[in-house]
Amino acid sequence: MSLKVYNSLTRQKEEFKPQKGNEVTMYVCGPTVYDLSHIGHARSAVAFDVIYRYLKYRGYDVKYTRNYTDIDDKIINRANKDAVPWNEISERYITAFDEDMAALGVELPTFRPKATATIKEMLNVIQTLINKGFAYVLDGDVYYSVRKFKDYGKLSGKNIEELEAGARVEVDERKEDPLDFALWKASKPGEPWWESPWGKGRPGWHIECSAMSQKFLGETIDIHGGGKDLIFPHHENEIAQSEGATGRPFVRYWIHNGFVNIEKEKMSKSLGNILTIRDALGDYSAEVIRLFLLSSHYRSPIDYSEESLRDAETALDRFYKTVERIESNWPDIKNAPLDKNRGSLQLFIDAMDDDFNTAYTIGRIFDEVNNANRLMDDAIKSGVDRKLKEVLPVIMAIFREMGKILGVFNKTTEEYFQEKKMYLNIPPEEIDKIIATRTEARKNKDFKKADEIRKSLEEKGILLEDTAKGTIWRVKIK
RNA sequence: GGCGGCGUACCCAAGUGGCUAAGGGAGCAGUCUGCAAAACUGCGAUGCAGCGGUUCAAAUCCGCUCGCCGCCUCCA
C-alpha cells in the first residue's frame, strides 16, 4: 500500500511520491503574531503535526518549515493601540504561540523562521520578479502584475476576468490592474522599515512564504499546507511569485485543512466568539482537544461545542480506564514488544495512508478497547487467561504506536488520572479519609450512610467505584 | 453572480461500487453488585436529504430538486 494524499491543486487523491527519494519537504503557513492563537490555529497545527509525525513514522526524512509572520499591518495596528514597539507585540505572541503548541503536544518543526529574518531573500525574489517583468515599481511600492502570470487562478479555480468583474472598489488608483498585489510596501512615517533598492519599506504578506520556503526547502517543495481560507488569495499569490521567479513548479501537493466553528457559528471577531487555545485548555486537556480534532477528517469543517468535547473526554476516559485495568491486573503485559510479524498495525497504516484518515484509526483503537475488556471479562469469569496473554500485548503495542502518531492515548494512566484530579479543590487525602469512613459503614452494613457519602462526593465531582480490591475514585466529567 | 464543499441513527462521525452501513456519546434491557459505578451482552438506521437514472450490484457513479456551509476582503 502506498500513501495517498488529497491535492487541492488537482482536487483528487494522488499517490504521494517525494521528488527526492526519501526526503520530504513541507511548508505550512504559521500564525501572524498579533494576538493569542485560537482553536482554528490549533486545528491546523494539530492536523499538520499528525501528518509530520506520520511521514516520519513511514520512514521519510521530513524537513518541515513553519513560519511566523512577524511584520504585518495587524501587528503595527496592535502596537499602536498598546503604545509599544511593533516587535514587542510580535515577540510576545511568538512566545505565546510556542507555549500553546507545546501545551497541545505539537512537535517542533525543523525550521521556524521569522519573516523579518528573511528580508534579504525576499528582496532577491522581488528583484528577480521585476527583472523578469512580473513586477513593477510605483513610488517605492512594488506590485505583482497578476495578468503576466499565465497560470494565475489554477489553485483556487478562479479566472482573472471574473475576479476583475467582482473586484471591490479599488482604493489604490495607481496600480496597473486592480488585481495586482503588493510585494513591497513603502513605509509610512513611524512604521518599521528595511532598506531596499526601491526605498525604505516592508514586505507584503505573500512574499515571505515564497522566500522562506525557497530558502529552507528549495525551489520546488513536496507539501505546502495551511487552512482552506488561505487558498485565495494567499497561496494563489505564492504560486505566482515563486513560479514567476524560478520558472519551476512551486508545490507538488497542496494540503488544506477545514475550519472550526463554535457552537455552529463561524468564529470571528465581530461575533466575539473567538476561542483561544488557552481558554480551551482551561476547560479540557490537550489530549481531549486533540482527540476531538482528530475524530473528524482534517478537511471537513468541525463544530466545537461543549457536547462534542464532553463526548471526547468520556471516550478518552474509557480508553485510559481500560489501560489501567490491564496494567493493574496483568502488569507483565505492559511493556511487551510489538511483534512486527503479526501485521496487527496494517489496518491502521492503511487508514493513515488514505489521506491521513485519523477518524478511522480512532474507531479501530476503540475496537481494540472493547476487545481488551472482553478478554479480561472472559479471563476473570473462566479463570483461564491464555488467550488474553497472547492478545493483550499486541493491543498494548498498537496503543503505543498509534499514540505516538496521533499524540493522543499517549500518557501513562497515572499521569492521565492525576492530571484530572488536579482540577479538584479537595485534597486527595481528605477524599481517602471520607472513603475510609464509608468503607467502615459498608462493613457494618450501614448502607444508608454509605450511599449518603457516595452521593455527597458525587455532588463534588467525585465518582466512587467499589471494586474487588477496594473502593477507588475518579473525577466526574462535567 | 463565480468557485468549492456538505446533508449517514437521538447527537458527533467513518465509510465514495460488492461481505451483517465502523467507532464515540446518549438511551433502554440483562449479567455483575448490598445498591450503584465500571465492564460485558443484547436492542437501536431494511436505511445513507428527496426524486429519477446507469449497473448483475449504489450511501458510494450521473441528472434534477430541496436544505446547509465555506471562499471570492484580513482570516487557520
Report the CATH number that the domain containing residue A215 is assigned in CATH: 3.40.50.620
Window 282-301 of chain A: CB closer than 7 A to strand B? 295-297, 300-301
In a domain, A145, yes or no: yes
In a domain, A282, yes or no: no
Q: Which residue is nearest to nucleotide B74 (CA to C1')?
A: A74
| CA-to-C1' span, A371 to B60 (A) | 30
Looking at the fold, whether A172 and A241 belong to one and the same domain comes out as yes
Burial A214-226 (b: 16+ CB within 10 A, else e): bbbbbebbbbbbb
Looking at the fold, whether A172 and A254 belong to one and the same domain comes out as yes
> What confidence score (pLDDT) does residue A167 get?
60
> What confidence score (pLDDT) does residue A78 get?
94
Domain boundary among A366, A393, A413: A413
> Nearest nt to A226, CA vs C1'?
B76
Looking at the fold, whether A246 and A362 belong to one and the same domain comes out as no
CB count in 10 Å sphere of residue A410: 18
CATH of the domain at A365: 1.20.120.640
User: Three-state SS for A461?
Assistant: coil
In a domain, A355, yes or no: yes
In a domain, A285, yes or no: no
Looking at the fold, whether A346 and A469 belong to one and the same domain comes out as no
| CA-to-C1' span, A9 to B11 (A) | 35
In a domain, A468, yes or no: yes
Q: Which three cell numbers stand for residue A440?
A: 467502615
Looking at the fold, whether A147 and A203 belong to one and the same domain comes out as yes
Looking at the fold, whether A355 and A382 belong to one and the same domain comes out as yes
Q: Which three cell numbers stand for residue A274?
A: 473567538
In a domain, A271, yes or no: no
Looking at the fold, whether A108 and A250 belong to one and the same domain comes out as yes
Domain boundary among A393, A413, A433: A413
> Nearest nt to A265, CA vs C1'?
B69
User: Three-state SS for A442?
Assistant: helix
Strand-pair partners of A86: none
Looking at the fold, whether A327 and A191 belong to one and the same domain comes out as no
What averages of pLDDT result for each successive group of 10 residues across chain A (478 residues)?
Answer: 90 93 96 96 97 97 97 94 95 97 98 97 97 95 94 90 66 80 93 95 95 97 96 95 96 96 88 92 96 96 95 97 94 73 79 96 96 94 90 92 96 94 88 96 96 95 93 92
Window 324-343 of chain A: CB closer than 7 A to strand B? 325
In a domain, A286, yes or no: no
Looking at the fold, whether A407 and A461 belong to one and the same domain comes out as no
Q: Which nucleotides of B are covered by protein (CB under 7 A)?
A: 1-6, 11-15, 22-26, 33-41, 69-76
Q: How far apart are CA A75 and CA A139, in angstroms?
A: 24
> What confidence score (pLDDT) does residue A341 get?
41
In a domain, A456, yes or no: yes
> What confidence score (pLDDT) does residue A171 get?
56
CA–centroid distance for A309 within its chain = 16
How many structural domains does chain A have?
A: 3
Range of the domain at A409: 305-413
Looking at the fold, whether A56 and A131 belong to one and the same domain comes out as yes
Q: Which three cell numbers stand for residue A128?
A: 528577480
Looking at the fold, whether A236 and A138 belong to one and the same domain comes out as yes
Looking at the fold, whether A14 and A129 belong to one and the same domain comes out as yes
